[in-house]
Structure 1
Amino acid sequence: MKARLKSCAVLAALLLAIPLALFSFVAPAGAATQLCGATDTVSVAGGEYIAQNNIWGADTPQCITVDGTSFTVDSAGHSNSTSGAPAAYPSLFKGCHWGQCTTGSGLPVQVDGDMPSVTTDWSTTLPGSGSYNAAYDLWYNTAPATTGAPDGAEMMIWLDYNGPVQPAGTRVASGVQISGATWDVWTTQMDWRYIAYVRTAGTASVDDLDLRAFTRDAVARDAVEEDWYLIDVEAGFEIWQGGQGLRTNAFSVDVGGTTDPPTDPPGDGRQCSATLRTDNSWNSGFTATVTVTNTGDEPLSGWTADWTFTGGQRVVNGWNATVTQSGADVRAVNANYNGAVPEGGSTSFGFQGSGPAPGQPAVTCTAG
């Protein structure tokens, strides 16, 4: 998705960085309102949320009808290439989007050890045609407020998608357990840091999705810094092609106190991720290192890493883990001295293989 990366970096800088408050039509709050202008917005739920039409990556038309914290894409004429940037992101948000702010949001909150709980409910209706995603968009800034583009990070959380679309950047992890579901993780660098979580089993709705847990995982991956601020939570649809019939049925965000959320069921707090890198390679073989990171809120007592070779590689030997192979599938289990990994900590193991260098295959980590 290199084309999309370039498009996102350029278009986001030139278009999204324009303050909406200066150029938008801001509709009066009240009954159902139709928005058709590219940057039209309307305040809803007593100012607690703002809906935006947000056509930013194309000149094609789009209209949405907003009724409280729900909206429907009435019409859309988008035909962007799925290898480039989306045409639009019609959405609802809570917080501050390029200087336009909701009231009583509880945001910003600092990303540190005392970050309050931030949970969200979202229900959607997703048509079977078109190329789009249903995704959250979270923005982090180095200071509590900004009148322009946030200078920290963007986090997208894809609940589902239709068509041949994917996040910007490169997939760096798979099988990551967060908030009761499994996610693939993508990262890249734009004018800000970018990280995306893609749900491996798509869903049209979530209840009490734990945004603090995603934030902590992003901190562990160096995508977000602890002294930054979460300033905005958005939920909507990145649309490349089509889009008519997409609907948000209901959306809410709750910013709570600094106390910890209710205790998870046993085992739910133990989570990990793993990445594989090739260290050296030659004509007939290579060496590689796999790093296992504790991304949960409990210490690990053990871990397993699984991946699949795609080029006929074979494991010759390994160290700091028991590494076995069946066909193209490889599994590594911790040694007796490195299974315990503290919260936020990491450990690594290595192996020698025959065949071509494997690059960076996705690795699934299972916590013990």
Structure 2
Amino acid sequence: MQRLFTLPCLLLIVMLGIYILPASTMKAETAPARPFPQRVTYAANTIRPTNFTQSQQDQHVRSFYDYWKANYLVAAGTNSAGKQMYRVAFGTGSPVTVSEGQGYGMVIVALMAGHDPDAKVLFDGLWYFSRQFPSGIDNRLMSWKIENGQIVDGNDSAFDGDVDIAYGLLLADAQWGSSGVVNYTSEANRVIAGILASTIGPQSRLPMLGDWVNPNGSPHNQYTPRSSDFMPAHFRAFGRATGNSVWVDVINKSELTINSIQAKAGATTGLLPDFLNCSSNYNCSPANAGFLEGPNDGNYYYNAGRDPWRIGLDALLNNDADARAQVQQMVNWLVSDTQGQADNIKAGYTLDGTPIGDYFTTFFVAPFGVAAMTDPSKQAFLNDIYASVYNTRESYFEDSVNLLALLAMTGNYWDPTAGGGMAPTSTPINATPVPPTSTPPVPTPPTPVPGDGCQVDYTIGDDWSTGFTAQVTITNNGSTAMDGWTLTWEFSGNQQITQMWNASSSQSGTQVSATNAGWNATIPAGGSVSFGFHGTYSGTNKAPTEFTLNGSGC
């Protein structure tokens, strides 16, 4: 039931400090290094809305943020050190906060620094609140639900909240540095370590629902992920920030899982279910009704509705070909189904495209705007989506996702990790490229394989008689790092690679080579990197047994 407040009640709420403190009560703060608006240039062959100017789009985001802040960002008392805390309310006036919302808030506030002069104070207060209520299982993570200042409904974590909290901390370090009261880098590393230890499957390398999941339990385990927890752009940032190559494996396993659904149950639409049930070789199916939340657990519903945005960000920020293909499969179906009209997008679908709710909500529309940005042929559809959501207000969940999607659609969402993927710039969209003033340097040749050798693990993840996915992991067994790598092998049959991720491929007949991407060129001593690919074949599909790395056998 919706709670209604009379005017006296609303006045009492304000008097009790539910809404944020006036700016005049906050201390002056360090200027952000990357103030809003950033006007990021995304990957090649991506688009942005063209039905409003850049200045108009920036103002749309400012207005939406001011509304979001006034309705959902609230003061929450002080911690034991006397530090002011803030929380994201689960609705206007709600006493409930969930870790998901706290993560949304930390990302949003960090990105809006420069527009909001109090962003750093608010960000720190959001962080303090998350630390006030740690999970009872892994205290590096946040307990998932707080009501009236008390942990309720289980003292454990929810995966996505902590992942956004960690990403927010990386953004904060990029904005304000880590030499202040909060060491954002140290805290981010601590949260990321907790995520990896307690909520990433030890064998599956898939996101688990939270730290409460037994990796080998039933019915919830390391092979039963929530599709909206596939956040490859975040995972890639974690790998860059920590130097831990395991995050590449998490990305690859997530992509295998997405591809499995899109090749079978979601083949017509490209849609993913809220929850999945996978075997150990990443052969996945939609979860049954009632698996965790309700009758639509196996449908594209109020979890999976975030997928086009979460996956699409990896295509925009990192030019990831697999992410691009995955969201384009969704958008291609949607444009056909809706006749290219955003107002025709429904509130949820079965995986065959049958609508569930016959109503419009920005939650199911705005994420598709991010996905549409990956395909220049979808310009009209993107413009229609943007026009339908930029000034539409609903409630906490819808508005938070909408605002994050608007930040991406307007070019104001960026990756805080330095030197990886598509490094954000402040170049205006459609700016004329400036030619280099000097001859580009000659690329450094790959490092020879160390004397102690290497190891290659080739795993066929999913096989459907005419096609397959494969995962390849290269381990450097030597005592020195390997800078640049090319792996070659020979197929025994007529296998043909159709798409590769985390490496670039070249194939001539049965001879194949895979060369590192720009961001995973270095394999540290004792470390590993992974890449994967789609392929087709007829007859048999035997795994290769001999590999050559930088000219030496593995």
TM-score, with length taken from structure 1: 0.33
Question: Quick check: which has more Rg, 1 or 2?
Answer: 2
State the TM-score, normalized to the length of structure 2: 0.24
